[in-house]
Amino acid sequence: MVLSDQDILRYLEKGKIKITPAPDLTKHLGSCSVDFRLGNTFRVFEHSKYPYIDFQSGIDINGLMHKVEVPDGEAFTVQPDEFVLAATLETLELADDVMARLEGRSSIGRIGIIVHSTAGLFDPGWVGTATLELGNLGRMPVRLYPGMRICAFTFEMLSSPAKVPYRQKPGNKYAGQIEPEASRFVEDLTS
């Protein structure tokens, strides 16, 4: 069951959902979601240097990307057909009986920006910033500013607490991340 605004407030008060820094709930709380803002760090593929991505080669995907830090007040331009990683400004921490879903915002989607390709599920026990899989489906470049509301999270209560929450799961790859993280799929091939 998706939590309503009043349930989200109750879960925030109880500490079952923690958002740091605390959002301005007068602006960021929707009927069943909380808006998160865009952080300052981006990872961009160096597609002109590398002909392809091959997981079997054992290459560190971070090595195929360069990191861009955008100061507050300045913009990052996402070109048409470009794919970049970014992160939310806020850190999210979930109790062992709460899961979250990352959702795009309609206002951003209507200009062609998608905020996640497939990774929209945040398991119970998650802690960290959310890596955004930004893509520009439009024909015009779009300037994105750190601090702007970029996505929303909805929350659901589980039928019971997870036996092994994400942060305790052996081999979890992304718990505790503080900036956009490239794929660690190669770890799946070796385990």
Separation between Cα atoms, residue 167 and residue 175, nearest integer Å:
6
| Residues 147 and 164 sit within 8 Å (Cβ to Cβ) | no
Do the beta carbons of residue 85 and residue 65 sit within 8 Å?
Answer: yes
Question: Which of 69, 90, 133, 181 is the catalytic position?
Answer: 133
Active-site residue, 103 included:
no
Q: Residue 65's closest CA among 40, 38, 42, 89?
A: 42
Asked if 90 contacts 36 with a C-beta cutoff of 8 angstroms, the reply is yes
Positive or negative torsion for Cα 76, 80, 86, 88: positive
Concatenate the DSSP letters of all residues of 96-132 into one string. Answer: TTEEEEEEE-HHHHTTTEES-SS--EE-TT-EEEEEE
- Which burial class, exposed, middle or buried, applies to 28 when counting CB atoms under 10 A from its CB (0-12, 13-18, 19+)? middle
Whether 179 and 41 have beta carbons less than 8 Å apart is answered as yes
Catalytic residues: 133
